[in-house]
Structure 1
Amino acid sequence: MFSHPPSPEFSPLAIGQDFTPLPTYKAASTTSINFSDLLEPSLKLHEDLKSGCGGQLWPAGMVLAQQMLRLELGAGGGLVGLGVALGCTVDNVIYLTDQENMLSLMVQNINLNALQSQEIVQQKPNIILAADCVYFEPAFPLLLTTLQQLLDLCEDAVIYFCFKKRRRADMLFMRKSRKMFVVQEIEDVDREKFSREGLFLYTFRRKA
């Protein structure tokens, strides 16, 4: 197990100068990503912002996908799910989920990587991957409810949750999460590097 100092506290002093930064918007393009040589062949990801900001690569997605490739676990959505689908041997189907306006872009990325596409599923997932979901404060209650409902479907389910701390409201989200779930920080060899960028990686589990 890796040893490390405790995470910076969720306090106003821990926010730093990059208070509410967003990635620079860019023209639609296709990127190849190998997650520090963990993935061969590389994942092809098309980025297109015409349907919303979800069409762009986000930093917590990169961190979570790389963590999943090291752990060889599979399930989830977007960048993370496709990276895991290409890089890991999994026994179950990996389902990608997002808002309806992201569906066509997800299908395009699935096809870019020669993976099968399904639009509607009914199952009880035991591994849920969530990256960069903490960015819109009015949606926090709905996000917490969704996470709770997913964990209620399967008592052994685990949510791998990665986000970038950008604003004070993120502290409130994590405080509420700790009241609702068993929250543990994930050990990772790159933790010191990505935590300096305000990125945090956790597991959420049901409380007994």
Structure 2
Amino acid sequence: MILNSRFLTPRHHLEPPYHHTTPQRTQPHHSDSRTLPEGDGIFRLNSLPTMSDHDQRSPSPEFSLDLDEGLAPLPTYKTAGTVEVGFEGLLAEPVKLHEDLKSGCGGMLWPAGMVLAKHMLRYHLNELPHSRILELGAGGGLVGLSVAKACHLETPMYLTDQEEMEELMHHNISLNGLDDQVKARILNWGEPLSQEIVDFKADTILAADCVYFEPAFPLLMQTMQDLLAASPSATIYFCFKKRRQADMRFLKAAKKTFQATEIEDEDRPVFSREGLFLYALKRKC
């Protein structure tokens, strides 16, 4: 998921790309094509200037949408290029992702997407071909495209994000030869769902690293509620990285709104040390 640069203020620092820290493996070079080191699949942060206590406080416990601060353009962190990810053999053929930050931070790979994609491939491969799948805040489409790459879907899935990411989603769909399996659509959080999305009635909703910008929290919450209202038996597979206390307030609010269950995964002891959380969210009865 990306947000327009006009929404970003100087204190809303986005974290830079992650690099693998396994000994004798190097960070991918800035080239047109590269293979992403996999190892345990967990990435570590480069350093950023530490925000002050004032900066780390949320605008309000109620997810305030106060945006009356000076505006700043979205920073650029690395050159555009293409990566291949095979998830340690879980994919017979690696998924290819073009990364491009010109449209925002959604144009690159983030750890929560790696964790969620690997979990779906490892634990849900038998049921996924028969599922109606929608990815929220897809960015370049890592999670959804990995799923589509692994199995022939009976019903084409949807990658969704803001308009700025539409071109990248289409590009990566075609890059993987999945034009007949995956559709890209604009879905702005907080806005009414299109009739196409309502009628689709997704039963498997994927959301990775959608929690990173506090003013968008109530919009994300509304969209998740709307999707579950359209398909009451659906499950949202939700993975995020805790970067600040506001992220945990979102989780607390989600637990009040949905039936939330932390998901067991054999990699959980590893990714939990990196501040990554994996939950299944369902509509409360």
**Which bin holds the TM-score, normalised by the shorter protein?**
0.7 to 0.9
Q: How far does residue 26 in structure 1 lie from its aligned partner after superposition?
A: 1.3
Q: CA RMSD in A?
A: 1.5
Task: Report the alpha carbon displacement of residue 22 of structure 1 after superposing the two structures with TM.
Answer: 1.1
Q: Which moved more, 1:65-74 or 1:26-35?
A: 65-74
Do 1:44 and 1:112's aligned partners in 2 also have CA atoms closer than 8 Å? yes
SS of corresponding position for 2:232: coil
* Residue equivalent to 2:154: 91
TM-superposition CA deviations, 1:153-178 (whole Å, max 9, x none): 11110000000000010111011101
1:168 to 230, 245, 250: 245
* Structure 2 unmatched runs, 5+: 1-12, 18-76, 186-195
- The answer to whether structure 1 residue 30 and structure 2 residue 103 are counterparts is no
> Residue type of the partner of 1:110?
I
Following the alignment from structure 1 to structure 2, what is the Cα–Cα distance between the partners of residues 186 and 177?
15
Q: Secondary structure at the match of 1:90?
A: coil
C-alpha displacement at 1:49, in angstroms?
0.3
1:81 is aligned to 2:133: no
| Structure 1 residue 89: Cα displacement | 3.7
Q: Which structure 1 residue ranges, 4+ long, deviate > 3 Å from structure 2?
A: 117-122
Tell me which of 146, 164, 167 is aligned to 1:101. 164
Q: Which has the higher contact order (CA 8 A, sep 6+)?
A: 1
Per-residue CA deviation, residues 105-135 of structure 1 (Å, 9 max, x unaligned), is 1111011101116445431111100000000
How many angstroms apart in 1 are the aligned matches of 2:258 and 2:92? 35
Give ranges in structure 1 of 5+ residues lacking alignment: 1-19
Q: 2:99·2:107 contact (CA, 8 Å) conserved in 1?
A: yes
Q: Distance in 2 between matches of 1:196 and 1:139?
A: 26
CA distance in 1, matches of 2:244, 2:228: 27
Task: From 155, 179, 187, give the equivalent of 2:264.
Answer: 187
Secondary structure of the structure 2 residue equivalent to 1:97:
strand
Please state if 1:134 is matched with 2:211: yes
Letter in 1 for 2:92: E
Q: Structure 2 length as normaliser, TM-score?
A: 0.64
- Indicate the SS of the match to 1:50: helix
CA contact under 8 A between 2:169 and 2:184: conserved in structure 1? no
SS at match of 1:45: strand
Match of 2:229, SS state, is helix
Query: Residues 30-65 of structure 1, C-alpha deviation per residue, up to 9 Å, x if partnerless?
Result: 000001210111000000001111101111000000
Residue of structure 1 in register with 2:112 after alignment: 60
1:48 maps to 2:125? no
Aligned to 2:40: none
* CA distance in 1 between partners of 2:184 and 2:113 (Å): 21
Are the aligned partners of 1:128 and 1:157 in contact in 2 as well (CA < 8 Å)? Answer: yes
Larger Rg: 2
Counterpart mapping for 1:111-126 below 5 A: 111-116=174-179, 118-120=183-185, 121-122=196-197, 123-126=200-203
Quick check: 2:237–2:279 contact (8 Å CA) kept in 1? Answer: yes
